[in-house]
Amino acid sequence: MKLILRLLIGIAVGIIIGLVANEWTARLMVTISDIIGSFIFFMVPLIIIFFIAAGIANLGKGGGKLLGSTIGIAYLSTVLAGTFAVSVAMFVFPLIGLSGSEAVAPEGLSGFIEFEIEPIAGVLTALVLAFVFGVGIAATEATSFKRVIDEGQSMIEMIIRKAIIPLLPFYIAGVLAEMAYEGAVFETLGVFGVVLALAVSMHLIWLVIQYTVAGIVNKENPFRLMKNMVPAYVTALGTMSSAATIPVTVNAVKKNRIKDSIADFVVPLCANIHLSGSTITILTAATAVMYMMPGLEFPGFVGMIPVILMLGIIMIAAPGVPGGAVMAAVGILSSMLGFNEAAIALMIALYLAQDSFGTATNVTGDGAIALIMNGKEQGNSDRDAA
């Protein structure tokens, strides 16, 4: 919650500075945002390489059919959640009159210095490299290389936690100061509330859908199942971390009368690979930004399908820190949807403003995946007995 408060302060300070600043001050803020933004984009391929490679390498160690089925259902849930979000957003936003007239693109006020750090690889290159490393480690049991990948993952997560996340309010302040200086900020921020309300509403609807499926599979009342998951949802609201909420989630899942072995396996796994709530938020916010930012164009439902499929994979790379999911998604937004620095800053602001709700949806959704796996396992046992 402290991160959200710092974000709001960054937004307010950026707007105030932009409104009262002279050109020198505005250029200083642009310089700050340029430096931080360059560092963020430099880190994106490293996040993808180390987190996805480590995730695949760890998934490759045992688990059998339960592992494969859980991964498949988690990925399907994430992709369907993204499809749901895009479908609703592309219907609602035009209905409420959201269009490019809502915002004015900054004219590109230059900073005092030209500062750009070239990423070590493009997003697709980093993704392919991560798969090569991850699958190779799992297949050859290359323990030494796996240790390098695991240590690299820890290092990148530390950099995100200690450097990037604390710098985000300054980055957003710089971008919004530029927009305010050029008279482009209030129309843009005016749609924040609508976007956030829509995202949180879709979170709740998606949880009902997930638990309805889980209830059918287990022949249980879905609302009773959801009620037992309330402690996990509330805890995630406070921690903003799926990983930190795992003990509470496991305990809540076990109250829904599923096997301890399934709960103990599925919940920690899904905490890392199942981010349906975060996906809903990212795609809702991305759709809004494309509708309201001049220079960006919504590619249509069919055009968004590759983005949704790729985002489902990228979410595996999301670091387990507040804001980690949107950091992992930055590469997709810039490479596949053409988001510029101002659009990325708006995305980060929109995402972080509701990160706790997205995390709570992720965590509660993990319970639904565990229930589905329990029902599937029970169905297999019944058929074997017959």
pLDDT tens, residue by residue, 24-75: 787 788 788 888 888 887 887 888 788 778 777 776 555 556 777 888 899 9
**Residues 163, 121: Cα–Cα separation, whole Å:** 21
Enter the pTM of the model.
Answer: 0.80
Which long-range contacts link 96-99 to residues 24+ away (Cβ below 8 Å)? 96/194, 98/191, 98/194, 98/288, 98/291, 98/292, 99/291, 99/292
pLDDT tens, residue by residue, 203-213: 999 999 999 99
pLDDT averaged over the chain? 81
Under the banding of pLDDT at 50, 70 and 90, the label for residue 289 is: confident
Retrieve residue 296's tokens.
């960006």
Q: What is the DSSP string of 346-367?
A: HHHHHHHHTHHHHHHHHHHHHH
pLDDT tens, residue by residue, 217-266: 988 899 999 999 999 998 888 767 777 788 888 889 999 888 888 888 88
The one-character DSSP state at 385 is: H
> By C-alpha distance, which of 180, 203, 141 is closest to 355?
203
Question: Of the spans 12-16, 300-304, 333-337, 347-351, which averages the highest pLDDT?
Answer: 300-304
Under the banding of pLDDT at 50, 70 and 90, the label for residue 121 is: confident
Q: What is the DSSP string of 260-325?
A: HHHHHHHHHHHHHH--HHHHHHHHHHHHHHHHHSTT----HHHHHHHHHHHHHHHGGG--SSTTHH
Query: Is the dihedral angle over the CA atoms 300, 355, 53, 267 positive or is it negative?
Result: negative
Under the banding of pLDDT at 50, 70 and 90, the label for residue 104 is: very low
Least confidently predicted of 64-73, 121-130, 193-202, 313-322: 313-322
All domains of the chain in start order, with CATH: 2-379 (1.10.3860)
Q: What is the distance of C-alpha 126 from the center of its chain? A: 18
Higher-confidence position of 97 and 197: 197
Q: State the pLDDT at residue 102.
A: 46
Retrieve residue 265's tokens.
């396996």
pLDDT tens, residue by residue, 363-383: 999 999 999 998 877 765 554
Question: Per-residue pLDDT averaged across 123-133, rounded?
Answer: 82
pLDDT at residue 280 is higher than 90: yes
